[in-house]
Amino acid sequence: MPDHNDLFSKVLLEEQLRSNRITRKELLRRAFAGAVVIGTSGVLGACGGDGSNEPEGQSQGGAQKQKRGGTLRLGTAGGSSSDTVDAHTPVTHPDQARVVQLNDSLARYDEKFEFELSLAEEFAAEKADVWTIRLLEGLEFHNGKTVTADDVIFSLQRIIDPDVPAFGAGGLTSLDPNGMKKLDERTVRLTLKQPDVTIREELAQYFNGIVPVDYNPKKPVGVGPFMFESFTPGQESRFVRNPNYWREGEPYADEIVIIDFPEASARVNALLGGQVDAIDDVPFGQVPVIEGNANLNILEAPSGGWLPFTMRIDAAPFDDVRVRQA
């Protein structure tokens, strides 16, 4: 099961780039204007560009003009026949990449890892075990259906279903499936099993997205920036721009193609050969190769990942505490 901190680093920079919170000038300096899924090894991703040194046009005041449209082809590490597009059960890197295209949660973390509301305009505690959630007005799923309190209740009950608990269920043990009450079309009251001051933070996780009451994980409908077009497990998935996305002006690309690459060498070769525009999880050994290509740049971001050094303390030389401390 993926590490939450590593997944946060991955999803955060993808969302930051996808939503254009990095300027086009900076993206072009890093070689490609678009979205990147970030790996967890510290070396995060590589992006291909056109190699041009021509300056981009500027709007009045020197701000960079933003270009829209085009297709981003993203090569992600891993993937198999068990890949999924289910909003609540991402496991592999390709799964994670797909989930954040299709779905949004009630809240999220910004680029400074600070909590902020997303689909909810209010998420407040009446008491430590009673919370009220009020949705933004006018939210729509990809199929045009209005997002309502019924969808919030359905989504939360689906995540914590004891028969098939989803990825986020472990952090939502305080949720009571019978303690969710619809107050009106946009408002839900949660009466928890016990006080829980972390419930907002848990529901800000990307894998706790809001889906409609008639959700079909084979043909998923969400409220995210891209809509489902096609999916071949272990190979690729395609998503098209959501023209009614609730965040004004987003997304910028017309289409995102996510391509599975279980082998690192194949992923790097696809980038070098121009078959993809960006990859995640750049192998350390390939960093000099990519840095030597004027049309490519490596993006880095802090990660919660760490590498353990494991010792058998019942066998020499690590049975000697002085060796372990050295």
38-93 per-position pLDDT tens digit: 322 334 455 555 444 343 333 344 445 667 899 999 999 999 999 999 999 999 98
**Residue 198 sits in the same domain as residue 281:** no
**Residue 94 sits in the same domain as residue 123:** no
To 10 degrees, the CA torsion angle through 242, 243, 248, 254? 70
Class of residue 288 by CB neighbours under 10 A (exposed 0-12, middle 13-18, buried 19+) = exposed
CATH classification at residue 170: 3.90.76.10
The answer to whether the bond into 283 is cis (omega within 30° of 0) is no
**Residue 34 sits in the same domain as residue 97:** yes
Degrees, nearest 5: CA angle 79-307-8: 55
**Residue 230 sits in the same domain as residue 84:** yes
**Residue 85 sits in the same domain as residue 121:** no
Q: Which structure tokens are listed for 97?
A: 């990449």
Q: Looking at the domain assignment, is residue 213 inside a domain? A: no
Q: Looking at the domain assignment, is residue 32 inside a domain? A: yes
Cα–Cα distance for residue pair 211/159, rounded to 1 Å:
11
For tokens 């999924």, the residue is: 84
Q: Which amino acid is at 132?
A: T
Q: Looking at the domain assignment, is residue 248 inside a domain? A: yes
Q: What confidence score (pLDDT) does residue 65 get?
A: 61
Q: What percent of the chain has pLDDT over 70?
A: 79
CATH classification at residue 59: 3.40.190.10
Q: Looking at the domain assignment, is residue 317 inside a domain? A: no
- List helix spans (H) across the chain: 4-18, 24-29, 93-102, 149-159, 199-203, 264-272, 287-291, 321-325
Q: Which structure tokens are listed for 290?
A: 């990519």
Q: Looking at the domain assignment, is residue 259 inside a domain? A: yes
Cα–Cα distance for residue pair 200/107, rounded to 1 Å:
7
Higher confidence at residue 10 or residue 105?
105
For residue 7, pLDDT over 50 is answered with no
Q: What confidence score (pLDDT) does residue 181 get?
A: 98
**Residue 17 sits in the same domain as residue 54:** yes
Mean pLDDT of the chain: 83
Q: Looking at the domain assignment, is residue 325 inside a domain? A: no
For residue 222, pLDDT over 90 is answered with yes
Average pLDDT over residues 163-169: 96
Q: Looking at the domain assignment, is residue 323 inside a domain? A: no
pLDDT band at 295 (very low <50, low <70, confident <90, very high): confident
Q: What percent of the chain has pLDDT over 90?
A: 66
Number of structural domains (the chain) is 2
Cα–Cα distance for residue pair 202/197, rounded to 1 Å:
10
**Residue 95 sits in the same domain as residue 111:** no
pTM for the structure as a whole:
0.77
Q: Which amino acid is at 131?
A: W
Question: pLDDT of 132-158, one tens digit each?
Answer: 999 999 999 999 999 999 999 999 999
Class of residue 309 by CB neighbours under 10 A (exposed 0-12, middle 13-18, buried 19+) = exposed
Q: Which residue range forms the structural domain that includes residue 148?
A: 107-203
Q: Looking at the domain assignment, is residue 310 inside a domain? A: no
Angle between helices 93-102 and 4-18 (to 10 degrees): 50
**Residue 135 sits in the same domain as residue 153:** yes
Specify whether the backbone of 42 is left (phi greater than 0), alpha (psi in -120 to 50) or beta. Answer: left
Cα–Cα distance for residue pair 266/268, rounded to 1 Å:
6
**Residue 97 sits in the same domain as residue 137:** no
For residue 289, pLDDT over 70 is answered with yes
Average pLDDT over residues 18-46: 36
Cβ proximity of 34 and 282 under 8 Å:
no
